[in-house]
Structure 1
Amino acid sequence: MEIFKAAWDFFQNQVLGMKWLNSLIGSALDACGLDTTGRIGGSIQFFIYDIIKIMVLLGVLILIISYIQSYFPPERTKKILGRFHGVGANIIAALLGTVTPFCSCSSIPLFIGFTSAGLPLGVTFSFLISSPMVDLGSLVLLMSIFGWKVAVVYVLFGLIIAVAGGTLIEKLNLENQVEEYIRKGNSLDVPQEELHFKDRINFAWEQVVSTAKKVFPYVLIGVGIGALIHNWIPEDFIVKVLGDNNPFGVILATLAGVPMYADIFGTIPIAEALLAKGALLGVVLSFMMGVTTLSLPSIIMLRKAVKPKLLGIFIVICTVGIIAVGYLFNAIQPLLV
């Protein structure tokens, strides 16, 4: 058992967390005359380390996930979802969302395609909620920073929100709240040619390059904000606003994430810095969920597909679910960290 624990700790800290890289960067900066224990040197070390770590993990993850995704083109995904009914269909849709695009704006075109194909509205919303919130990349990156317990529980709660939200929307019979051009749209069932291993690798590499280009600016911004929080904002201030003394911290964090647009790779450095400064676990995870699921640009895009009533219900369901999960994480934090 001790051997297994040691092996796991090594994997989490040195492979996923790349602590060796942090030490290497710190030594290099010290050799250049920068004091990494000070604010400026510490900020530079945090910035370089997190940028490299996130982009390397991101590249590896996207390569693996995109290879898996090559087996699930949209038409095949529609066929898979069409075989299930009831809550089972919502569960499958939420799980399929974990191997599809990394941000909400990228998920909406697929949501429109699934809805046009005649899939139940609740099923398509379960996919739309889970896709940006709980992709496989989030699981690995969360493990690299917060540990496997937090990562697994985060993904589990995210899937619960997706399944419950989609099921509730299905029960409300809101099909008439989808824009007419989508309800009357036709989806051609185009047969997918069988891809060979080389084709799938090429597809996966193209996804790595394309996604890296899209997310890199947000990673830069996220890591920059994280470095600022980590080394310049007083710990007492973070604890006062987002710690035990503020019962509304989860609500504030969720609402603060709405105007932003980033995927989970850009929010993790901010969450990491906030947690290190004393913010509660549920607060930082609610912020991450708010940014990835309820960002203002994705809401504007979704409005083009659904009417205000359905959009409002979607926002309320996600907001209530995220806030509830945030408070639950706060309550069980001693068991996870």
Structure 2
Amino acid sequence: MNIFSFLNNQLLKMKWLSDLVKLLVEKLFGLSIEERLGGSIHFFIYDTIKIFILLSVLIFAISYIQSYFPPERTKKILRNFKGIKGNIFGALLGTITPFCSCSSIPIFIGFTSAGLPLGVTFSFLISSPLVDLASFLMLTSFFGGKIATAYVIVGLVLAVVGGTIIDKLNMQEYVEGYVFGIENVDVDSYEMTRKERISYSKSQVKEIIHKVWLYVLIGVGIGAAIHNWIPQSIIEKVIGENNPFAVLLATAVGIPMYADIFGTLPIAEALFGKGVGVGTILSFMMAVTALSLPSMIMLSKVVKPKLLGIFIAIVSLGIIIIGYTFNGFSYIFM
């Protein structure tokens, strides 16, 4: 346990980096991190460097694994599973494809046009931006193993339940007709060499960093402001445990935003430090990653309003239930 604690503190939480940035702030700027300005600078520098280090390492590793599961191979695997097994497998495959919600939609179109059950493709669509190994390890770094594990489990459950409900409702007629008319040719997946997989993983790191760096900086900036400048009394009044509408408010605020989990982590960390409930934080993160407004606009071009409305209703209700449940049992995670 001592070895695990050491590795967790130094590799995931990067305590050494926190100490180094603290020394930088105090010696170079002459500020105490106990004060607002010094604390904000420390939070911003430390979290920014930490997130980009973790992102680079984890996305490289995940992309290397993902290189074994291109869309063609994934489709072939999913065709062998039907019913609830298909939904579970679709959700699990989503965890090894670190796409944001918008980039998951072209894959969703490909799966649907290939004749995969609609419920399976929706399970994939929910889990892909919501849950992956990188998000688990980064959540562990920020909040610890219990909360990270809980987030992954409820994310997968939401994906399976959401996909199963849509499958039972037989909503195929509410997919835009052109999707089924797309020519879908199965091509045997090209087997990469080890050198090509490494090159692919490096390119994925560059591509994802390029996509998310601005959102990470904005998120860290907001997190620093919440952590050091907004009084805890205000946070508690708006989305604290005493506000029965906190989960609803966090979900409503998260939906219009566009970011992935990496951009929401610094905000969630700051809210957690202010005593906001675990369920409220999870609801906010899930709403941002699974129901972002840009991805819903893209999805509206693929499915008809009724199916889009049902999808949003199912996921929103699931997020709200998860939020209130986790707030009610938050003592388990403390």
* Bin of the TM-score, shorter chain as denominator length: over 0.9
2:306 pairs, out of 309, 312, 326, with 309
The Cα shift of 1:306 comes to 0.4
What secondary structure is seen at the aligned counterpart in 1 of 2:31?
A: coil
Please tell me whether the aligned partners of residues 108 and 302 of structure 1 are also in contact (alpha carbons under 8 angstroms): yes
Write the letter of the residue equivalent to 1:168: I
Q: Which runs of 5+ in 2 are unaligned?
A: none
Cα shift readout 1:235-274 (whole Å, capped 9, x = no counterpart) = 1111112222101101100110011000000001000000
Please tell me whether the aligned partners of residues 235 and 274 of structure 2 are also in contact (alpha carbons under 8 angstroms): yes
1:320 pairs, out of 306, 317, 321, with 317
Q: 2:71 corresponds to which residue?
A: 74
The Cα shift of 1:165 comes to 0.3
**2:261 matches 1:270:** no
**2:23 matches 1:27:** yes
Q: Which runs of 4+ in 1 moved over 6 A?
A: none
Write the letter of the residue equivalent to 2:21: I
Aligned partners of 1:89 and 1:244: how far apart in 2? 38
Cα shift readout 1:296-316 (whole Å, capped 9, x = no counterpart) = 001000001000000000000
Taking every aligned residue pair, what percent have the same amino acid on both sides? Answer: 61
**2:160 matches 1:163:** yes
Count of residue correspondences: 333
Q: Which runs of 5+ in 1 are unaligned?
A: none
The Cα shift of 1:34 comes to 2.0
**2:145 matches 1:148:** yes
Aligned partners of 1:335 and 1:192: how far apart in 2? 45
Q: 1:122 corresponds to which residue?
A: 119
Write the letter of the residue equivalent to 2:8: Q
Please tell me whether the aligned partners of residues 254 and 288 of structure 2 are also in contact (alpha carbons under 8 angstroms): yes
Cα shift readout 1:166-217 (whole Å, capped 9, x = no counterpart) = 0000000000100111022221111222211111110011000000110101
Aligned partners of 1:167 and 1:232: how far apart in 2? 44
Q: 2:326 corresponds to which residue?
A: 329
Please tell me whether the aligned partners of residues 177 and 307 of structure 1 are also in contact (alpha carbons under 8 angstroms): yes
Under a length normalisation based on structure 2, what TM-score does the superposition of the two structures give?
A: 0.98
Write the letter of the residue equivalent to 2:12: L
Please tell me whether the aligned partners of residues 98 and 136 of structure 1 are also in contact (alpha carbons under 8 angstroms): yes
The Cα shift of 1:150 comes to 0.8
Larger deviation: 183-192 or 74-83?
183-192
2:232 pairs, out of 216, 230, 235, with 235
Aligned partners of 1:305 and 1:8: how far apart in 2? 46
Under a length normalisation based on structure 1, what TM-score does the superposition of the two structures give?
A: 0.97
Aligned partners of 2:98 and 2:114: how far apart in 1? 19
Please tell me whether the aligned partners of residues 62 and 98 of structure 2 are also in contact (alpha carbons under 8 angstroms): no
Q: 2:2 corresponds to which residue?
A: 6
Please tell me whether the aligned partners of residues 282 and 326 of structure 1 are also in contact (alpha carbons under 8 angstroms): yes
RMSD: 0.8
Query: Aligned runs of 1:186-205 on 2, under 5 Å?
Result: 186-205=183-202
Cα shift readout 1:33-56 (whole Å, capped 9, x = no counterpart) = 122211111101100000000010
Q: 1:297 corresponds to which residue?
A: 294
